[in-house]
Amino acid sequence: MKVRKLPSALTLFAVAGAVHAQTSVTLYGVIDTGVEYINRVATAPTVLPPGATSPSQGVAPVGSRFGMINQSGMSASRWGLRGVEDLGGGLKASFVLESGFNSDTGIFTGNSAIFNRQAYVALSNEYGKVGFGKQFSSMTDAIVNFMPARFSPAYEPGIWMVGIDYKPNNTIKYSGQFGSISASAHYSFGAGLPVTSLSPGGAGVQLTNGGNGEIPGSPRDDTAWGGSLTYLGQSFGASVAYDQWNPSAVVGQTAKVRKAYAGGSYSNGPLKLMAGYRWGDQTYANGNVALRDDFWFAGANYKFTPALDVALGYYYSNIKKMNLNGATGVATNPANPQQVSLVVDYALSKRTDLYLSTAWAHNGSLGNDGAFTLYLFNYALPPGGKNMVGVATGIRHIF
């Protein structure tokens, strides 16, 4: 009979230390808040006024607005937990739980649930990572390094660029890094969006009822998929992506939202130049056009000193057809929105900075905020309005 020798207390402590060294959990986040002035803005319509057939513009009261920034300035405020465990043999398990919030009130962004940005578990090795849960779309991965202001809520048209389905629920996603090239692909069984934002008679275009995903007998409802490739070299960068979402306002009847993108960048010392194009086509379930647009952008970043960074961006939307009146509505060809944005950022330390953002929009609202972006940033264009100016200043702290 063999007798197993029990480990000493010192050995147990050593083993515990080794296990602990292979597992980590990190708390992280960004708090970004400040004040802004908008020269002329309307109230975003949550219910259309009597006789109105289109939510393309805001409703009274109309006037200037001065107050706290609603959804942050430089970066979306958020906090999260991420962890990783080394399983041996090059295999790792990881997770991310991330929640966005409005720093002026503390509420979850969009009045949604906790972990409204990301919530997934993944396995990874040298060939890439496969995650399961709520994750950013492949197109979002491809674009983030090429937008002039890196998706600054004030005032870059990031949601117009990638679409409101940029962080789909119920998603399987692959991502891999191979030297200077990264690749990603995702499939969502039900992208899902807040029902309150797209309720009948509300401000959103009626392509979906809030997400019918995973309905028995209707496997295509609210599904989404896409892929991207990105190259980031020392001087040159480029990326391409495709994204498709199949929302359903009625079970078994899917609309179609498609986007394709290509962009690039050039860096030389403190200067970085970037430009890109995004094709967009959205149709109702019966095939009628909801929105057909081409979106172009170009910009530059320049680091004057290690602490002072300036970003300049120009954004132009060629809206070929727009139909906000439902599946039986008639498409129109509205004036094309364009915008110029300037961001000045000064770092007080590696984690804290001060910024000044300003933008001018013509033939549209700041950030192209409107019916197709659900008025997420409350920059509703006044009836008959042509121009809008915004100025924001604030502080961002990264932890």
Establish if 9 belongs to a structural domain.
no
Establish if 98 belongs to a structural domain.
yes
Establish if 210 belongs to a structural domain.
yes
Establish if 8 belongs to a structural domain.
no
| Owning domain of residue 220 | 24-398
Helix (H, G, I), strand (E, B) or coil at 304: coil
Establish if 193 belongs to a structural domain.
yes
Q: Higher pLDDT residue, 77 or 15?
A: 77
Q: Would you say residue 31 has pLDDT above 90?
A: yes
Establish if 17 belongs to a structural domain.
no
Establish if 18 belongs to a structural domain.
no
The domain spanning residue 290 has which CATH number?
2.40.160.10
Helix (H, G, I), strand (E, B) or coil at 234: coil
Token digits for 5?
């020798």
Q: Report the C-alpha gap between 366 and 369 in whole angstroms.
A: 6
pLDDT tens, residue by residue, 294-308: 999 999 999 999 999
Establish if 141 belongs to a structural domain.
yes
Q: Indicate the average pLDDT of the chain.
A: 89
Identify the CA nearest to 370 among candidates 257, 167, 204: 204
Residue 4: which pLDDT band, with cuts at 50, 70 and 90?
Answer: very low
pLDDT tens, residue by residue, 342-363: 999 999 999 999 999 999 999 9
Phi and psi (nearest 5°) for 139? -65, -40
pLDDT tens, residue by residue, 39-78: 999 998 877 666 555 677 888 899 999 999 988 999 999 9
Q: Are 41 and 62 in contact (CB under 8 A)?
A: yes
Number of domains comprising the chain: 1
pTM across the whole model: 0.90
